[in-house]
Structure 1
């Protein structure tokens, strides 16, 4: 009977569900493009040509550090202070509000003519903490059998945003480039108005009729009886979920373990260095002394990441989160270590470098490729599987805030450390983090593939 029920419930995903996920993905495209905004823009801000440099003078190393790092710091504040609002006003209103704020901030950034204004507007753009709430919304409109696949879509759209920024950034002025990468937020606001609220949120707040309507739109290929079964399953999940406040995250063993396990992949994602290298990709690769343009390499890297993130979304339900993360961390560590060797030889002006001109591009592509198999797409949604509906946004916010701390520190220190000690030491440290992270994942991270919330909670209590 159980097999028959599962077979009945696990029907193909509807077009409307895909449309809902793709629509919220527009926010990830905008955030992804914003993340790599510095890669093509820093070259323009370093120019003496006032026609392409809106601030009218070359940017300093300290200003580069502040422009890249401070927005990451304010993202942390947004994750902690703002995202709880999604539990009060709803996932959909919160994301619409966030999209509007991002749109206005992006327009203001486009017309900024000083480093101070650029820093302020970039801070506002990321302050909403929408990257924590969006995975929660996606997880709640999905079912057990497809939440891993659609959870990876967020990472795919983030990479599409990277590619979008890398492709158009070198060819547009700072103003038009900024307006172009902000445009997806306007499209999101218009389309998302007709999308449903999370059925889990509606049911949790006692609006059963609206919950039924949301389920009917998202799963239109199911009969009324099948939708009733889905609704009953949601009710059962909510009955089994403990109710509580944010402080309860630190009162129960399974919640503390869930937080620790959520911290592990998200911190490893940033401390692998791949996300930091993307912020400085064009100038970083130009410093390798090869004949390839840093802007061209950035486009190649972005295309590779989209391909691997997409592949992960198809295979994650078959191979599992834990196994994909293990392959990803080990695979990322090796080419990063080799890349560090190249930069060291280049730094000491070894003649061997002339025979290793292939290594920077190959090492970078391998590192990014393995990153895309797990570390990139999986951590953002994995934490949502460890917690009940009442605690998903706050737990996701705390975990993402920890990633924000790492991103802030690394983005701020990277240009200063590389200038003082050389890029090789940074890259070696990134590789060592991946090696240590692989060991921790192997020892402690459980597999959540295909498991219900109750089954995951039992694992966390052990």
Structure 2
């Protein structure tokens, strides 16, 4: 039966029905809630024009904003009225037809609103607002019942959350479409209502194709022959649950037995007489009241004005408002993954608790701004420190995660994806930070908004993937051994895409390896064992050589170097983006050769060529300083491009994951601390030293630093690094111990 199904996702037809009714209910509500905020200026101009056309002598409208606020509130008056119509419409027309009736009301309201624009009459607009509120509230109330009654019990939470997903999506879309530069202008705001009318009309065309709620059908009086009555319910159950005819008939019998024994529906008065019904109704009202009073109404209705009041320009505030709405959409997507896993009660308790803290933070920040009215660079400094902490932790753990989860035959290419994205981000950042794009005084904050959106998207996707098999195998066996092994097997099968039998064998090998030495090494104890010490030192040496190869100076000062060799600002910015593109090209080449030639040859060859290219860069910079010849500057750009290409092909990506291949599972975390510490110390130090020399010695200081850095940085890994391609740690350990015995 369906109760035993593992999947929490609804059947396709149930999901389709939930999506359709959500577009006709929750989507409309969120859209209507948002569009009057960013487009407020356009609506007030419409109100002004209507007032003046009805009373030509009245040009002084001192209370126009207050009158507009009253018109906006009419939507909620209609919503309150519509709430009392939910029950009669749902009982009289049924769930499906009740939603259809309410959507017809919305379409009629949208038509009235569009008409009010063309005849410039705000009174008609006010009537349409009330009707829209009535129609949307009825559709939202009935849609929730429709989805709950039609969904199988095992996925009812996710099915019901589709309403919420569409609500938050509509808020996000509405915030974008209602921007003054898109459709929130005086001449175009009526397109917003045309858009909603098209959505609702499409829903009206599709809804007749779905079945009525099985529970509603079972609660009706038996007017036909019992077999016909049961057949209708069975067809609806089979449609939504996607189960066999026999299972559907059994489910239909259970529904009929349940609903025919208590068929008389409760009224809005009688629902208070039964203790159980009274308790459920009260709890639902309390949750709804807490939701409405949590501050979301103020945020959604006045976020645009709040952002304007704290110093943002109109266009900036509109984009920031859309970004705020995006987080609502992200939140509901996360909720779909956890609502049927952790339950409703813990989710409500935790989120309401955090909302209280966030409300305090919002109030405090608004008060702080009203008192100071200043832009605080100290806060920016704190944010930079936190950003460094977060990125370093994520880079260290990500390298371990990928190394431990990837099959040995493709570990190099998998690990290089980190490097590919690193170089791609440098290229994209170089373009986006051009002064004429987002690198200006008014727009630089968009760069951080872009990163925040990327990170939020990652947060939404990450819960869907499995934990690293090696990490799972290294944990203490807290459950039954079969459950413990099953988790590891599922993870191996997920990442390696092999058969169940092969995955179980691999899981057994992991358990045997990691359970014998399960205690993780600390950042101190990792130095006690010769093999672990050697692997950690080699990883640190590769990381040091990478950081001191000159790439820090290239990335930090390429723009200034190009400016110093005679380029204009815009030309230097474009050339800098071209240089970054070569880094991206280099990492793409590396993905083709890293698992073919191996790690050691790649490092030896790239470090060797990097030394030559560094000499060429130094020579060209000296030649320009002596001749001031523009042709020399073009050769310099070419040399820097080659440098970035070679760096991205070898030391750049290899330094991120080579340590994980050299040490066992138990000390990867500790070794990663040391290698990332080397990067964190060396990169800013080389940046500081080159900045110091630039300030005191000029362009010659930068070239001298490049030369010295690479000279001291690229020798160690070449001599001592073992080949790790296609080999596990145990094989490398055996080779190390064999060589140690021979040396004795």
Same fold (TM over 0.5): yes
- Cα distance change on mapping 1:369 and 1:431 into 2, 3 Å: farther
Unaligned stretches of 5+ residues in structure 2: 1-310, 312-357, 359-364, 366-372, 478-483
Are 2:591 and 1:321 equivalent residues in the alignment? no
The corresponding residue for 1:296 is: 574
Q: Residues of 2 paired with 1:442 and 1:138: CA distance?
A: 25
Are 2:495 and 1:225 equivalent residues in the alignment? no
* CA-CA distance at 1:185 after TM superposition: 0.3
Question: For 1:358, what is the secondary structure of its paired residue?
Answer: helix
The corresponding residue for 2:552 is: 275
The corresponding residue for 2:382 is: 120
- Cα distance change on mapping 1:219 and 1:455 into 2, 3 Å: closer
Higher RCO by CA contacts (8 Å cutoff, separation 6 or greater): 1
The corresponding residue for 1:266 is: 543
Q: 2:678 aligns with which of 392, 402, 408?
A: 402
The corresponding residue for 2:15 is: none
The corresponding residue for 2:722 is: 446
The corresponding residue for 1:212 is: 489
Map 1:364-443 to 2 at 5 A.
364-443=640-719
CA deviations over 1:274-296 (Å, ceiling 9, x no partner): 13421333223212224672211
CA deviations over 1:380-399 (Å, ceiling 9, x no partner): 10001121212111211211
Q: 2:583 aligns with which of 305, 312, 316?
A: 305
Question: For 2:433, what is the secondary structure of its paired residue?
Answer: helix
* CA-CA distance at 1:164 after TM superposition: 1.8
* CA-CA distance at 1:137 after TM superposition: 0.5
The corresponding residue for 2:345 is: none
**Given that residues 473 and 515 in structure 2 are in contact (C-alpha distance below 8 angstroms), is that contact kept between their aligned partners in structure 1?**
no
**Given that residues 624 and 633 in structure 2 are in contact (C-alpha distance below 8 angstroms), is that contact kept between their aligned partners in structure 1?**
no
CA deviations over 1:124-149 (Å, ceiling 9, x no partner): 01213111111000111111111111
Unaligned stretches of 5+ residues in structure 1: 1-53, 55-103
* CA-CA distance at 1:156 after TM superposition: 0.8
Q: 1:182 aligns with which of 440, 452, 455?
A: 452
* CA-CA distance at 1:242 after TM superposition: 7.1
Q: Residues of 2 paired with 1:279 and 1:354: CA distance?
A: 22
The corresponding residue for 1:73 is: none
- Cα distance change on mapping 1:355 and 1:163 into 2, 3 Å: closer
Q: Residues of 2 paired with 1:240 and 1:367: CA distance?
A: 45
CA deviations over 1:378-430 (Å, ceiling 9, x no partner): 01100011212121112112111111100121222322211211233333332
Q: 2:526 aligns with which of 233, 240, 249?
A: 249
Q: Residues of 1 paired with 2:561 and 2:583: CA distance?
A: 18
RMSD value, Cα:
2.5
* CA-CA distance at 1:352 after TM superposition: 6.6
Q: Residues of 2 paired with 1:159 and 1:354: CA distance?
A: 28
Q: Residues of 1 paired with 2:429 and 2:686: CA distance?
A: 21
The corresponding residue for 1:168 is: 432
CA deviations over 1:55-96 (Å, ceiling 9, x no partner): xxxxxxxxxxxxxxxxxxxxxxxxxxxxxxxxxxxxxxxxxx
Aligned residue pairs: how many? 352
**Given that residues 141 and 218 in structure 1 are in contact (C-alpha distance below 8 angstroms), is that contact kept between their aligned partners in structure 2?**
yes
The corresponding residue for 2:98 is: none
Q: Residues of 1 paired with 2:515 and 2:595: CA distance?
A: 26
Q: 2:407 aligns with which of 143, 166, 170?
A: 143
CA deviations over 1:283-323 (Å, ceiling 9, x no partner): 23212224672211221122211111121122111111111
Question: For 1:356, what is the secondary structure of its paired residue?
Answer: helix
My pick for the range that moved more, 426-435 or 317-326, is 426-435
* CA-CA distance at 1:234 after TM superposition: 1.8
**Given that residues 548 and 713 in structure 2 are in contact (C-alpha distance below 8 angstroms), is that contact kept between their aligned partners in structure 1?**
no
- Cα distance change on mapping 1:195 and 1:282 into 2, 3 Å: same
TM-score, length-scaled by structure 1:
0.71
**Given that residues 241 and 389 in structure 1 are in contact (C-alpha distance below 8 angstroms), is that contact kept between their aligned partners in structure 2?**
no
TM-score, length-scaled by structure 2:
0.45
Q: 1:198 aligns with which of 454, 457, 468?
A: 468
* CA-CA distance at 1:435 after TM superposition: 4.4
Q: Residues of 1 paired with 2:433 and 2:591: CA distance?
A: 28
Q: Residues of 2 paired with 1:231 and 1:219: CA distance?
A: 12
Q: 2:422 aligns with which of 141, 149, 158?
A: 158
Q: Residues of 1 paired with 2:707 and 2:595: CA distance?
A: 27
Map 1:22-41 to 2 at 5 A.
none
**Given that residues 268 and 437 in structure 1 are in contact (C-alpha distance below 8 angstroms), is that contact kept between their aligned partners in structure 2?**
yes
* CA-CA distance at 1:233 after TM superposition: 2.8
Map 1:9-20 to 2 at 5 A.
none
Q: Residues of 2 paired with 1:392 and 1:178: CA distance?
A: 31
* CA-CA distance at 1:243 after TM superposition: 4.0
**Given that residues 321 and 448 in structure 1 are in contact (C-alpha distance below 8 angstroms), is that contact kept between their aligned partners in structure 2?**
yes
Question: For 2:399, what is the secondary structure of its paired residue?
Answer: helix
Map 1:123-134 to 2 at 5 A.
123-128=385-390, 129-134=393-398
- Cα distance change on mapping 1:355 and 1:217 into 2, 3 Å: closer
**Given that residues 270 and 276 in structure 1 are in contact (C-alpha distance below 8 angstroms), is that contact kept between their aligned partners in structure 2?**
no
Q: Residues of 1 paired with 2:565 and 2:419: CA distance?
A: 28
- Cα distance change on mapping 1:277 and 1:137 into 2, 3 Å: same
- Cα distance change on mapping 1:297 and 1:355 into 2, 3 Å: closer
**Given that residues 340 and 423 in structure 1 are in contact (C-alpha distance below 8 angstroms), is that contact kept between their aligned partners in structure 2?**
no
Q: Residues of 1 paired with 2:452 and 2:557: CA distance?
A: 20
Q: 2:621 aligns with which of 333, 336, 343?
A: 343
- Cα distance change on mapping 1:124 and 1:340 into 2, 3 Å: same
Larger Rg: 2
Q: Residues of 1 paired with 2:583 and 2:400: CA distance?
A: 23
